Chain A
Amino acid sequence: MNVDGIPNVRTCTTPVRDGMRVRSQNAFPSLETDFLSVAQHFDWLMPVGWYYKTFTHRAMWHAAEPLIRRAAGLGKVLNSETREYEHSWMHVDTAVVGGGWYGIQTALKAVQRGEQVALLDDQLALGGEGRYRKTQENLTPDLLLQLQTFPNLRILQDSYCFGLYEGNLLGVLQHHPHSGAVERLIHLRTQHTVVATGAYETPILFANNDLPGVMLSTGVLRLLHLHGVQAGKRAVIVGTSGATDEASAELRDAEIKVVASVSPEQVVMALGHTYVQGIKTTIGNFECDLIVVCGPRVPDVSLVAQGGGTLAWDDVRGAFLPVFLPEHISVVGEATGKDLIGTATPLPSRKRAFVCLCSDVSSRDLCDGIAEGFDQTETLKRYTTATMGPCQGRMCQLSAIRICSSQTGRSVARTGVTTSRPPNPGVTLGALAGPSHHPVRRTPMHYAHEKLGAVWMDMSDWKRPRYYKTSSTSDETDCVLTEYGAVRDGVGIIDVSTLGKLDLRGADCGKLLDKVYTHRFSELRPGRVRYALMCDEGGIILDDGTIARLSDDRYFVTTTTGNLDFVHQWLDWYLVGSGWDVHMVNVTAGYAAMNLAGPMSRAVLSKLTSCDLTPTNFPYMHCREAEVAGIPVVLLRIGFVGETGWEIHCPAESGEALWEALLDAGQEKNIRPFGVEAQRLLRLEKRHVIVGVDTDALTNPYEADMGWAVKLEKPDFVGKALLSRAAENWARERLIGFVLAVPGLPEDGAAILVKGKLAGRVTSCRYSPAQRAAVGLGWLEASQAEEGATIDVRVKGKPMRARVTMQSFYDPDGSRLRQ
């Protein structure tokens, strides 16, 4: 049934609530008038394995699948999920699974030993079958009250355990833990698991046993005693002698007329169309509206099997019972099977009886499957889908095994039981997914950007302004070009707080950096900054950034936004065991960072600081610790965007104040905040590479035209051996720049052609106002990569002429950077 939009709910065990919406599934238009039921008259046309045998071509299956799923599928998944699911963790010494008499007694003993105990019960009230079976031990109100008094006992009701995982981790699903959530998935870590899951009654197989009105005796008693509902007026009881006594007595007490009590061998079939109207037996037909089945009881020991225990067939008790238990698992009560009396109920003849009621698998389907060669329980299960429905074989596994055994002539012990795997029973995907707590990373200036009209982009978990929308009419291109213009001609500011930042202190920092980066840093003078390129042992570029030496024993390292964690670990890896005096801390979140760039940037910054910013006293690639607007900062004179500029790092808690102070100071110079998109255009004009965008997992520095950043004369560093070879053997491909000769804008990844043949690919491309044409970077066969060479770049499927250049597209000699 479908309950509140959730398919495959076992309504037979689900309590009714106010406002619950219950619908039948796989019935059209309703269960009472089900047009789809016509299929049962043609079941001979649809033998087991019908799908495999009929839809032999992929196209046929695609056409038929939606119709079949509608008629026989396992329900519809909700696309718009609004329910709240939760996760929770619990740690105890002992977890008792099962809230029946034995479970409670075991929990009590553990509690009295002083252990932390969790008692799990899938029912709404403790007591197990004792609540509705007079023959079972029942709980006294005193005992129930006593249970509430132990602070070290947690009772989880309406919570089922769906799996026992490695490390004694129990998966528990709790329904309606509180008004704000529908389900809670509890990760229950325990030292010891007690399986007190009891046993359940299973059906007896006869024709038409799926008719409404055919019920297990425990179901009838549950309705009677827990809900005050008579399951029928006239009942026929089916069961072996002795097994039916309890049901007979109870039904008579409840004034349900017992028309007859018959043994399973005597039953021929249930009579009726949409519900039970009678039963046909070898001793005559009886009119009734209820058939009470007293079937064999099966211990619920799937958790034992999941936890590494061994089950073996017990002929006397007629069940698979635990014979070996791992140290951390014990079994108590009816789950041990000790008190069971094996009753071999008859297996049906060729006449159709439903074995698996969830998946509509009949005894005939199983026999056919075995005849076709699927004669092992594991293969038979997969071929027929018996035991694979919502109840996961609780009702049908034993019958399926016995049918397999009788058809193959093997004993039940040899036939064996299928592997028990969690989740059993099933769990909703929402519960597994849990609450939607997706972490978001925000820079210290997040709300300042929002005020300025930032249009956000996600850069992994970070939120970064893509561009700033200044008026409702301006589109992205206009905004980006305005921001670009501000940086080239005036002054702009961008939030670069997402850059990875590492603070390194100690006498041996230079040694570590020399070892891991390709350039030389031990000789970098305090107050200087250097571009830093990191390669792996194969000479492949891993990351880049800048390294500033703030004092003799202090370096400030920046990394790309996405690679910080990796770079941190990489440095740690080479540091561990080296004995070097290095103290390294990831301070990314501790610094707000902004890049003030443009020809007017010096004029703006100098209004807020006493630090001498003149080109002579603060030249390009130098750094200083200073105060800006009264806030302590680290100033790096670097220029990713190709203009005079400073990367300013300040304590994160003052980031917003500094950002606003700079915007205020720049107002008269028409300062503009600029976003990632403008930055990408500005850096592309300068031919500055973005690692991971313009480089890939095969790129070495020589191919990327960055051989100048590799100091092969250093004694040793990561990647030296292969970089030495790469320096001599000229590259297979080279990173080139190109300028499109005709209007058009190739997409990133577009093909580069030489004389009509594929010769490379575009990695970045934008329209360059400086060149008044589209410019880009791309990889090209080394033999073609010559200054001025002509190539074609594919734009919307058409080749367009472009010129190769190895120079920057803007300010090739870098004079603007150094001003």
Chain B
Amino acid sequence: MTMKRSALFHLHKNQNAVFTDHQGWEVPAYFSPPEQEIVAVRKNAGLADVSYLLKFDLQHEPQHSGWRLGSKHYLMMGEQPLHPPFGAIDVSSVYTCLCLAGPRGRDVLNKLTSLNVSDVALPNRSCAQTSVAHTYALVMRDDIGTILALRLLVSREFAESIWESIIHAGREFHLCSFGIKTLMSLHN
């Protein structure tokens, strides 16, 4: 069985990420010791690749895990197992999904998009379609407990470009890359 690789696999490999098997995907477990990543995310901001999440495009509202994109356009997203309703089209492979988490996440995004991502304009569990670093993106706010977390869905072929743009924009806020092990710890 071959492992599935996100569009950022090689970029992360070059950054010496330590990989792990997550639901058949070869994803970064961590870039630096997870304890350090947790502190950095809680204090500043971190960026993780969560492309393994399942995504389905729907014309009717799903019962759970749904994001409304238009009047008859919904996206269902979540971890396995996820059971989409009849008529859903699997778009898991279409989108690279990034998780920008931490209190400075908003400041980072403000350098890349004209979208108002303030707490009032984009409250938790709300989403918007916009341009991020000159690329079409879905911005979904899904906080991890009390930590601000913004998920960015971009068409897979742009993944490396947008990852590098976000990291570049985040330098002044000490944005770090983090892996799935850190993400799991944050969720717990």
Contacts and interface: CB of A to CB of B under 8 A. Distances in A.
Nearest to A656: B5
Contacts of B93: 587, 589-591, 651-653
A266 B83 CA distance: 91
B160 A440 contact: yes
A415 interface: no
Contact of A505 (B7, B87, B135, B160): B87
A189 B114 CA distance: 9
Contacts, number: 116
Nearest to A591: B93
Nearest to B107: A88
B187 to A, nearest CB: 23
Interface string A450-490: 00000000000010000000000000000000000000000
B111 A86 contact: yes
Interface string B142-162: 000000000000011111111
A379 B116 CA distance: 42
A435 interface: yes
Given A437-B161, A441-B158, A585 B6 contact: no
B77 to A, nearest CB: 14
A225 interface: no
Interface in B157-176: 157-162, 165, 168-169, 171-172
A439 interface: yes
B110 interface: yes
B15 to A, nearest CB: 14
Contact of A630 (B2, B134, B156, B161): B2
Nearest to A177: B172
A239 B28 CA distance: 72
B89 interface: yes
B37 interface: no
Contacts of B158: 439-441
Contacts of B165: 435, 437
Q: Specify the main secondary structure of chain B where it touches its partner.
A: loop
A442 B2 contact: no
A732 B137 CA distance: 46
The size bracket of the interface on A is 35 or more
A726 to B, nearest CB: 37
A443 interface: yes
B30 interface: no
B94 A180 contact: no
A588 B155 contact: yes
Nearest to A184: B111
A321 B171 CA distance: 45
Contacts of A87: 111
A438 interface: yes
Given A437-B133, A462-B157, A653 B110 contact: no
B168 A435 contact: yes
Contacts of A462: 157
A418 B84 CA distance: 63
A91 B156 contact: no
A654 B4 contact: yes
Given A447-B10, A629-B2, A654-B4, A589 B157 contact: yes
B184 interface: no
A583 B89 contact: yes
Nearest to A187: B114
Contact of B134 (A438, A443, A586): A438
A361 to B, nearest CB: 39
Interface string A293-310: 000000000000000000
Contact of A587 (B5, B7, B91, B168): B91
Contacts of B5: 444, 653-654, 656-657
Given A88-B110, A91-B121, A439-B158, A585 B91 contact: yes
B155 A589 contact: yes
The 10 closest A-B pairs by CB, nearest first: A590-B94, A590-B93, A657-B2, A653-B4, A589-B156, A441-B157, A91-B116, A178-B172, A651-B93, A589-B155
Interface of A: 86-91, 116, 177-181, 187, 189, 435, 437-444, 446-447, 462, 503, 505-506, 583, 585-591, 629-631, 651-654, 656-657, 661
26 contacts: A86-B169, A116-B118, A179-B172, A187-B114, A435-B168, A437-B168, A439-B134, A441-B158, A442-B7, A442-B157, A444-B7, A503-B89, A505-B89, A585-B57, A585-B89, A585-B91, A585-B94, A587-B93, A587-B94, A589-B93, A629-B2, A631-B2, A651-B4, A652-B156, A653-B25, A654-B5
Given A583-B57, A630-B2, 9 more contacts: A89-B111, A89-B115, A116-B118, A437-B165, A590-B93, A629-B2, A630-B1, A652-B7, A661-B2
